Amino acid sequence: MEKLENKVAIVTGAGRGIGREIALLLAKEGAKVVVNDLGGGADGKGNNAKVADEVVQEIREAGGTAAANYDSVAEFENAGNIVQTALNEFGRLDIVVNNAGILRDRMVFKMSEEEWDSVIAVHLKGSFNMTRVAAPIFKEQKGGRFINFTSTSGLIGNVGQANYAAAKLGIAGLTKITALDMARYNVTANAVAPFAWSRLIGTIPTETDTEKERVEKLKQMSPAHIAPLVAFLSSDESADVSGQIFGVRGKEIMVFSQPRPVRSVYNSEGWSIESISAIKGSLQSAFTPLEVSKDVFPYEPLV
């Protein structure tokens, strides 16, 4: 039996890459899918309705059910339009996959306000917009699934991605609070940090041998590797899984730790600059190294 039969899903940014693979698999598992994609470039500029239409056609040719939507998630009213597409076409909504994203990479000392705002708007505000519009529906029907996309750029760190990292770490926080707020209504919220070759990753500079080697590793990891976990988190099988951060790296699935205190010190007299300096060493061994994602994942993808 198809695991998502009679479910209705929205997948944002579903015209290419990871979003496309998710939409195809959800449909294969029986879900009716709203394929949302503005059809813009990796930087979010431009629009092309054919991008979403082609995925809808592919789903239909495979025997599935889908409808297209071309709105940008960055505007709150558009989120209402996207959700309304699901209600108008299929009569209900059960799953929201917040996958839409853009990149505007720049070193923090060069980043413009527009580069910051545009990335925050699509990733973080877009995820909020979709969550805010869908949450009352899920609350009323006492059931639903939110699957949000975070990134190791925020969870760990990457150079030149202050806007993207801030948005993606913000999404981790949004996911946790959504999970807490919606738990009593049998609604789950989880985040996925994907490792996969996509058009966004394709913007990574490849000027040095190290950069070229990193990109070659990423090319081994297909967007199709991400879709099964999202399908699981969309299903009834995951009813007891919420507030978690997962990673998918090739054929490897991981659960990320979440911030918790690792060491503390106490001073009955209160603290001063001098007294903190004196005990700095006892805290320093618990400091998190200043690492980037490739430092934490130096091994070959398991594909």
- Sign of the torsion angle spanned by Cα atoms 42, 87, 78, 69: positive
Residue-wise over 156-169: b if at least 16 C-beta within 10 A, else e?
bbbebbbbbbbbbb
Using alpha carbons, select from 28, 20, 26 the residue that is nearest to residue 8.
26
219 CB-near residues (< 8 Å, 6+ apart): 197
Domain boundaries, the chain: 8-258
**164 included as an active-site residue:** yes
Strand boundaries in the chain, DSSP class E: 8-12, 32-36, 65-69, 95-98, 144-149, 187-195, 245-249, 252-255
CA distances to 75, 118, 143, 161 from 103, rounded to whole Å, are 17, 9, 33, 8
- How is residue 302 annotated by DSSP? B
Catalytic-role residue among 70, 164, 266, 299: 164
Question: Domain spanning 8-258 has what CATH number?
Answer: 3.40.50.720
User: Does residue 200 carry a pLDDT above 70?
Assistant: no
Burial bucket for residue 294 (CB in 10 Å: 0-12, 13-18, 19+): middle
Give me 71's structure tokens: 């709105």
| pLDDT for residue 207 | 72
The tens digit of pLDDT for each residue in 224-267 reads 999 999 999 999 999 999 999 999 999 999 999 999 999 999 99
Residue-level pLDDT at 43:
60
User: Which pLDDT score is estimated for 74?
Assistant: 97
Other CB atoms closer than 10 Å to residue 223's CB: what's the count? 19
